[in-house]
Chain A
């Protein structure tokens, strides 16, 4: 009898959540898959075209450019997100003065509270061809010849967007937590392990690779997966800073999806892009989760 009462309460408890999710998550996701088989301008039901959207997608030049760009984006962001916050966390972890360590932690975390859009627009200003900080700085140190329209140049636009946020300790938005998560991981390593390593005479660099890195493998894994997922999905930085330009040189899949739907009314095609992106996301996440697991298990 008691369990019966609990059962009924449980459904009531989860009802609001699932009502919201069915209307605004499950239904739209199913609708996207369904409509990816239609030529659909969003006004009428549309014409069933089978796999035509998908076939077109693989032939689309802009998709090719976007795919290459997003791979560069992921490699760049993973490198920056994994290395610089970890470096900073390790430095803070080894500061002996506790007050100073706390202060560094707060100061390096502080940029998280700056809205993402402010940071993006700030970096758009930094790259501004005339009044921007980067060109002004180059001019001031006598490297005026290196000045360029960083976001308007075919050679640099994509890399300028990838590289925003220097010195990359506090990432943009949710990536800003990498530093704190690494630091938390380092701080939760049991003292005895360090003592044992010290007795063994493990020097700093070796200790880092042999002791600290394996001990924070789960944090690294978390940051890696989050960074890959977030970067694959992210297109707002490109949208705001370059609009995918010049030409389509900095186009990414998410922005192309947005433009297909909201600029050209190709809702079926946009849905197909979304479906393919979701599938790739699933595959990448599964693989990265597996490979990291086997790596950390292989370590003694």
Chain B
């Protein structure tokens, strides 16, 4: 695929910043699929955190404040 051909540098040794600059359709700003995936992500991230998560964190909080749990 053209994807592989466009990559000439050894990615493993590249810093994260450069990896992101690799020409890549899904990450490219104007790719419709990439845009939709980001919107999917952003929509969920924008939701308020549901109550059951706060309950779960409350349990963790209680363990923090109470006796140390055996590990």
A binds B: no
Interface residues of A (CB under 8 A from B): none
Interface residues of B (CB under 8 A from A): none
